[in-house]
Structure 1
Amino acid sequence: MKNFSKSPFEGFRPPNATKFGKAAFCIAVEGIMFLLFYSVYNETISFMGETYLSELPLIGGAFQNSDATASNIIAIVLSLFTLLTPIYIFAEIIRQNLIENFREWIAHPSHKITAIVAVFILLLATGLEIINIYTMVAKEALPQGGFVQVQSEQGDVMSYLAENKGIAVGVSLMITIINLTIAYFTVYTFSNLSSQEA
């Protein structure tokens, strides 16, 4: 005979609405950062020209009714690389508790190689951000009439940054730091959420 004295909901904890709210906020912010990087990369990538996906061999037939270009696909891939690289690295740091056990972890020879590769890939992703953001700003200074003049008639932030290259570099670095910070808080938030569910 079954014992109904024990409730099937015993030990069940309702989900923390605050943590779910933080997770949703992190997803929204990451989405905004993706749109930011996509617009930057789509603006600066020009080596593919206006090559439409429908013109590409093998896969062109799948995009006959699409106006998407190869540059759009490259911009999406680079945006995902820029966003997901720090997220993955921070996820591994938190999962392996490297903040507290870094010396013990790095003492292993293979871990040193892993750390070097991770730092190289992270530098590659951050360098990609800085170069492309600065390139987008620099494109505001275009040759006109044989001289390099800044399109200051737009009167916007981009024109101001084009006139002040040092500030443009600072803005590029700031956006990179913001992306790293958001990536860390996203990983930290979801790690807390998963630990609660466990």
Structure 2
Amino acid sequence: MLVLLASTYTETMGLISGQYLCDLPGFGGLFCVIDEDMTVSHLLAFLLAVFSVAVPMMIWSAVLDENIHEDPRAWLASPMNRVKAGMAGIVYGAVIALEVVNLYTLIAQETAPNPFGGSQDASPMMDFLAQNQGLGIFVALLIALVNTVLALLTVRASRSLIQKG
């Protein structure tokens, strides 16, 4: 999921795409060891992908740590827990909004007219999503749901490995 999100964020992000990280003073040598062609937009796309993957994992980890899934009403009875739930909802909403905006940006880039007069060949899926934008929101929400389920499975698997080890 991290690779999928990082690649789509890289496709849609053009921010400072000409600035290579190797050229930066100080830490530039460290980035040259990793990848000489890495730009600032690659770094930002990777950080956004890590954010999109880590947030559901941290939320599931907190749910399982505090046994919220056993009795959510009792847990929400405390005002501080309501604040925690609200903040988690806001951050998770930011992840979903990021994925929806990213998909719409990718659709817009693929279907935008070419400035040189020729039509740009869009993939059939992007063309279909551009014509049915409600379906684009559904696809983005489906990706967020898959990300959430994978986060739950990852957290549960890591907990069972820790308990056995």
TM-score (norm: length of structure 2): 0.85
Change (3 A) 1:92 1:69: same
Rounded Cα–Cα distance in structure 2 between residues aligned with 1:155 and 1:37: 19
Q: Secondary structure at the match of 2:70?
A: helix
Q: Highest Rg: 1 or 2?
A: 1
Shift of 1:154: 4.5
- Render the CA deviation track for 1:100-153: whole Å, top value 9, x for unaligned: 132222222222221111111111112111211221122112134699x974x4
Matched, 1:81 2:51: yes
Q: Which residue of 2 aligns with 1:125?
A: 95
Number of aligned residues = 163
Instruction: Note if contact 1:129-1:172 (Cα within 8 Å) is conserved in structure 2.
Output: yes
2:28 maps to which residue? 60
Distance 1:154 1:144, change over 3 A: closer
Tell me how far apart the structure 2 counterparts of residues 72 and 144 of structure 1 sit (CA, whole Å): 24
In structure 2, what residue type is equivalent to 1:106? L
Q: 1:131 to 1:54 in 2, by over 3 A?
A: same
2:113 corresponds to 1:159? no
Aligned position for 2:160: 192
Aligned counterparts of 2:48 and 2:123: Cα–Cα separation in 1 = 30
- Of structures 1 and 2, the one with the larger relative CO (CA 8 A, separation 6+) is 1
Is the strand fraction higher in 1 or 2?
Answer: 1
Identity %: 31
Offset of residue 56 of structure 1: 2.4
Q: Which runs of 5+ in 2 are unaligned?
A: none
- SS at structure 1 position matched to 2:154: helix
Match of 1:177 among 122, 145, 149: 145
Aligned to 2:6: 38
Q: Deviations over 1:3-23 (max 9, x none)?
A: xxxxxxxxxxxxxxxxxxxxx
CA distance in 2, matches of 1:124, 1:190: 26
Give the letter aligned to residue 172 of structure 1.
Answer: A
Between 164-173 and 91-100, the greater mean CA deviation after superposition: 164-173
Aligned to 1:57, the other structure's residue is in SS state: coil
Does residue 86 of structure 2 align to residue 116 of structure 1?
yes
Aligned partner of 1:48 in structure 2 is 16
